[in-house]
Amino acid sequence: MPGKKITDHQVLKYKEQRNRLTQVAAAAKAGISERSARRVERSDTLPSQGPARSWRTRPDPLADVWDAEVVPLLHADAQLNAVTLLEELQRRHPGQYGASMLRTLQRRLRQWRAVHGAEREVYFAQAHPPGRLGLSDFTVADALGVVIDGAAFNHRLYQFALAHSGWRHVVVVTGGESFLALSSGLQAALWRLGGVPEEHRTDSLSAAFNNLAEQQELTQRYEALCSHYGMRASRCNPGQSHENGAIESRHDSLKTALDQALRLRGTRRFDARADYEAFVDAVVQRFNARVAPRLGAERALLRSLPPRRTAQYEELPARVSKYAIFTVKGVQYSAPSQLIGHRLMVRQYAEHIECWLGGQCVLQRPRATHRDGQRHPRDIDYRHLVAALKRKPGAFARWVLRDAVFPRDVYRRTWERLAAALPERQACKTIVGLLALAADGHEAQLADELEQLIELDQLPDLHALSALLAPPRGHMPEVAVQLPALADYDTLIAQAQEVAR
């Protein structure tokens, strides 16, 4: 093509084709013109072997200022860029250096730095022997746009990978990059893998390393976790994500594959979180199927698993207050009123909590997180408090936890309409009655009925809804029982005695 230099590859290809084709055909095959083909046949050298051009095709526009003004500025601060230097030249020499000089200055600056610039960082490619290195990291996956049960599902993905074979394991995480999320994800990966690598590497996770210390210092829990599995813990230098590139690059490939699979699926909506987790696992298994031969060779060199997993929870004491509320790390949870005054031992897992009283698990709830922007997140189960509300319905109007008790948004909107249209006492009795109906197992069906009433701009009738949702009354059949005469038993006894003789 005009304006492009002929390469050595084109010349060699032309000569190869010229042995069996005409000059015109061989030139077309090599992508050069006929004139260039004639010049190639007259030359005995390749283009790269010819003398380099040492002359300029036009006067140097920077000849007057490069050595005198630009180079001293670069010696003072080598990080000055071409835009800054051009603006400075325009201030010093008005009207002499236009915007068209920028590209020329950029090329000259790049050439100067290649000869006189500071040393640049060198990257050293690493070989990863089988069984030596496993890596862990978290990545935010909100951009996937997943919707679960009608609500946007903001989450992270924890990923573990083997550096040699590329085998990976992924866990969906709804909280932050906590130690519990790291511990549960790592242990799930190791037990699914069936072995333990020699070294486990992360970035500067605060869950694993004390980043406030001057030297690398493991947190006690992470050190105990690695010691339990016999792994050596390491991390990349702060701010140097390329040192953890074996896992960082897999984040991009994972999210790209998930996005493409969601596009192929045709929807990003899932009915339940378990459905989405199964979807993620299916995508990950496709990756693992590609590295099965390399994994087979690496698995033989992994260390054996310990006899059991280590604890994947954190124990925290909590006392249930007179409001039927207890607090765990700034998060408020409701409890049945029977537990008021009791001191519970709360086991906090990555995704749920368990409340133990005297060796018995008395309550289990999903773990609430701070990701919704709330300073003090709340997980209030209306089923725990509806019985007490039925005895004191008037307390609902100014209840501190009122907005957190609604099981669905339609219940909140119904309360707003009731509070605006009815006296306070009547509105409270109605909404409490609706919550009681929902607690009896009619939450979803009642929500559909309330949606219809809102569309019709009608207030709910508690008695009509109770009758509508009441279970159908069964009809008991009438059974006539006829008792035999006692004399018939005497006859049977007499017959039995005769047979026995």
Q: Enumerate the domain spans of the chain.
A: 8-49, 66-116, 133-299, 313-379, 395-471
Between 237 and 253, residue with greater pLDDT: 253
* pLDDT tens profile 280-294: 999 999 999 999 999
Provide mean pLDDT across the span 81-85: 94
Instruction: Select from 395, 429, 431, 436 the least CA-distant residue to 412.
Output: 431
Can you give the pLDDT at residue 211? Answer: 46
Between 322 and 492, residue with greater pLDDT: 322
Can you give the pLDDT at residue 224? Answer: 86
Can you give the pLDDT at residue 213? Answer: 45
Write the DSSP symbol of residue 242.
Answer: G
Provide, rounded to the nearest whole percent, the portion of the chain with pLDDT above 90. 55
Q: Which residue has the tokens 């300029």?
A: 56
Residue type at 232? R
Q: Which residue has the tokens 């190791």?
A: 190
Q: Which residue has the tokens 């702060």?
A: 238
The conformational region for residue 162 under phi > 0 = left, psi -120 to 50 = alpha, else beta, is beta
Helix axes 245-265, 273-290, angle to 10 degrees: 120
- The answer to whether the Cα torsion of 15, 21, 24, 26 is positive or negative is negative
Between 37 and 477, residue with greater pLDDT: 37
Instruction: Select from 305, 131, 136 the least CA-distant residue to 229.
Output: 305
CATH number for domain 133-299, candidates 3.30.420.10, 3.40.50.2000, 3.40.50.200, 3.40.109.10: 3.30.420.10
Q: What is the C-alpha separation between 372 and 370, in angstroms, rounded?
A: 6
**Burial of residue 346, with CB atoms counted within 10 A of its CB: 0-12 exposed, 13-18 middle, 19 or more buried:** buried
Q: What angle do CA 491, 494, 499 make, to 5 degrees?
A: 125
- pLDDT band, very low/low/confident/very high, at 475 (cuts 50, 70, 90): confident
* pLDDT tens profile 272-321: 999 999 999 999 999 999 999 999 999 999 999 999 888 788 889 999 99
- pLDDT band, very low/low/confident/very high, at 413 (cuts 50, 70, 90): very high
* pLDDT tens profile 178-225: 888 888 899 999 999 999 999 988 876 665 555 444 444 567 788 888
Provide, rounded to the nearest whole percent, the portion of the chain with pLDDT above 70. 92
- pTM to 2 decimal places: 0.65
**β-sheet with 199-202: strand ranges across:** 168-173, 156-162, 133-140, 199-202, 232-235
Terminal alpha carbon distance of the chain? 125
Between 343 and 375, residue with greater pLDDT: 343
Give the strand pairing for 199-202 and 133-140: parallel
Can you give the pLDDT at residue 81? Answer: 93
Give the mean pLDDT of the chain. Answer: 87
